[in-house]
Amino acid sequence: MNSIITHGIEISVQTRYYAPQSDPRHNHYFFVYEITITNKSDYTVKLLKRHWDITDGFGEKREVEGDGVVGETPSLEPGDSFSYNSGCDFATEIGKMSGYYTMKKLVDQSEFNVLIPEFVMVLPARLN
């Protein structure tokens, strides 16, 4: 599991290869990831946006931005956690993702970015 704390917000990531949505014969590899966001700060925050930097095994990059995560913009009081699952496909057996969430402190409406640690997704057979 990869994790990082920025501005008192911890982001933890776990990944796994998802064979049912993959087709290696056609260079299609699908991975799922679970992210847990834990508010270790002293203030309530709201997740507003996400930004992803996605790179495949050839070094090809793409960016994804959007409001919230999986259709939600959760608010987290101190000590609260929020987890969600999502996925990413690659044309290679290995890929990586990193990025950030834009969050808002509800006490003063100030916005700040929280880093998402870089995580690598690898076809299990490549690990041998």
Each domain of the chain, given as residue ranges in start order, spans 2-119
pLDDT for 18-75, tens place per residue? 999 999 999 999 999 999 999 999 999 999 999 999 999 999 999 999 999 999 999 9
Q: Regarding the domain with residue range 2-119, which homologous superfamily does it belong to in the CATH classification? A: ApaG domain (2.60.40.1470)
Q: What is the pLDDT of residue 124?
A: 87
Q: Is 124 helix (H, G, I), strand (E, B) or coil?
A: helix
* pLDDT for 1: 79
More confident residue, 72 or 1: 72
pTM: 0.93
Model confidence at 125, in pLDDT bands (50, 70, 90)? confident
pLDDT tens, residue by residue, 86-122: 999 999 999 999 999 999 999 999 999 999 999 999 9
Residue 120: how many CA atoms within 13 Å on its side-chain side? 9
